[in-house]
């Protein structure tokens, strides 16, 4: 009877080792898949910002010129510098359709961090120019209010 229990124990141990090895292999694949998905998500966000920024910068420039009856030199210089910086970031961002299957987990992690940092830099430009447009909108409301008050004052003087 002892031989039977020993054999059952040995078989159970072998099956446990095989099952454990398979589970470890499978969890490694799932981790790699998660990292590749995270990288694709980060790249998608970065490319979305890259696609939306040129239009936003053009709109902000037109808005600033309309409010200030011609943009200031500082605005124009900042806009040129920001367009250059955005172009440099765009050159750093990986292609969305790249194949990441050959990358190790460490390489994927490095790529995710780099892409996230690129996205944050792009997002700073998005925020900057959205705030500029909002400031221009506030200035337009202020100009309308001043014009209304001026017109009202002129009418009441008559």
**E-assigned strands of 46-113?**
none
Residue 25 pLDDT > 80: no
Indicate the SS3 state at residue 149. helix
- How far from 118 is each of 72, 94, 150, CA to CA, in Å? 29, 10, 48
Predicted model pTM: 0.73
Residue 5 pLDDT > 80: no
**pLDDT on residue 99:** 86
Task: Give CA–CA dist 41/94, Å, rounded.
Answer: 12
pLDDT digits (tens, 9 = 90+) for 56-100: 999 999 989 888 876 688 899 999 999 999 999 999 999 888 888
**How many other CB atoms are found less than 10 A from the CB of residue 39?**
24
């Amino acid at each position: 009877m002892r031989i039977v229990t020993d054999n059952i124990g040995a078989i159970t141990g072998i099956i446990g080792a095989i099952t454990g090895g398979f589970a470890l292999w499978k969890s490694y694949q799932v981790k790699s898949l998660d990292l590749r998905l995270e990288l694709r998500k980060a790249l998608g966000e970065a490319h979305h910002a890259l696609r939306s920024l040129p239009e936003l910068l053009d709109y902000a420039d037109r808005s600033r010129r309309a409010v200030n009856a011609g943009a200031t030199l500082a605005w124009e210089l900042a806009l040129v510098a920001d367009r250059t910086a955005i172009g440099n970031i765009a050159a750093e961002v990986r292609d969305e359709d790249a194949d990441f299957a050959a990358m190790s987990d460490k390489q994927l992690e490095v790529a995710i961090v780099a892409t996230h940092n690129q996205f944050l830099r792009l997002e700073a430009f998005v925020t900057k120019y959205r705030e500029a447009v909002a400031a221009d909108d506030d200035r337009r409301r202020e100009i309308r209010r001043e014009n209304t008050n001026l017109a009202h004052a002129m009418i009441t003087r008559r």
